[in-house]
Chains A and B, each alone.
Chain A
Amino acid sequence: MNATLLERHPDGTAAERVAVVRRARRAPRRRRRLVLAGLSVLLLAVFAARVLLGDFTFTVPDFFRILLGAEIPGATFILMESKLPRAVLGVLVGVAFGVGGAIFQATLRNPLASPDVIGVSLGASASAVVAIVLAGLEGGAVQAAAVLGAVGAAVLVRLVAGPGGTHHLVLAGIGMAAALLSVVHYVFTRADVWDAQLVLRWLTGSVGAADWPTIRLLALALLVLLPLVARATRALPLLELGEETATGLGAGRHQADLVLLLAVLLTAVGVAAAGPISFVAFLAGPIARLLMGGRTTLVGAALVGAVVVVGADYVADYLLADINFPTGVVTGALGAPFLLWLLATGRTGRRVA
Chain B
Amino acid sequence: MTVTHERPEVVVPQESTSRLVADRVTLGYGERTVVRDLSLAVPDHRVSVIVGANACGKSTLLRGMARLLRPAGGSVLLDGEAIHRLPSRQVARTLGLLPQSAVAPEGLTVTDLVSRGRHPHSGLLRRWSREDDEAVADALALTGTLDLADRPVDQLSGGQRQRVWVAMALAQRTDLLLLDEPTTYLDLAHQVELLDVLRDLNAARGTTIVMVLHELAMASRYADHLVAMQGGRVVAAGTPAEVVTPDVVRRVFDLECRVIEDPVSHTPLVVPVGRHHH
Contact = CB atoms under 8 A, between A and B. Distances in A.
A30 interface: no
Contacts of A347: 106
Interface string B181-205: 0000000000000000000100111
A122 to B, nearest CB: 27
Q: Which of A11, A23, A109 has the most CB of B within 10 A?
A: A11
Contacts of B101: 242, 244
B246 interface: no
Contacts of A2: 138, 204-205
A238 B134 CA distance: 20
A18 interface: yes
Contact of A14 (B102, B134, B155): B134
Interface in B40-94: 63, 66-68, 87-93
Given A238-B119, A353-B154, A1 B205 contact: yes
A319 to B, nearest CB: 34
Given A242-B103, A244-B68, A250-B92, A20 B119 contact: no
Interface in A108-148: 109
Nearest to B203: A5
Given A2-B204, A17-B141, A24-B109, A247 B115 contact: no
Interface string B212-233: 0000000000000000000000
B115 to A, nearest CB: 7
Contacts of A296: 105
B240 interface: no
Contacts of A241: 102-105, 113, 116
Contacts of A249: 92, 116-117, 119-120, 172
B204 A1 contact: yes
A242 B197 CA distance: 25
Given A238-B119, A241-B104, A294-B108, A251 B88 contact: yes
Contacts of B169: 248
B111 to A, nearest CB: 4
Nearest to B148: A24
A6 B197 CA distance: 12
5 contacts: A5-B200, A17-B137, A248-B169, A249-B119, A250-B120
Interface of B: 9, 63, 66-68, 87-93, 96-99, 101-113, 115-117, 119-120, 130, 133-134, 136-138, 140-142, 146-147, 149-150, 152-156, 161, 169, 172, 200, 203-206
Q: What are the 9 tightest A-B residue pairs by CB atom distance, in nearest-first order?
A: A294-B107, A248-B97, A250-B92, A353-B154, A244-B99, A250-B89, A24-B111, A5-B204, A17-B137
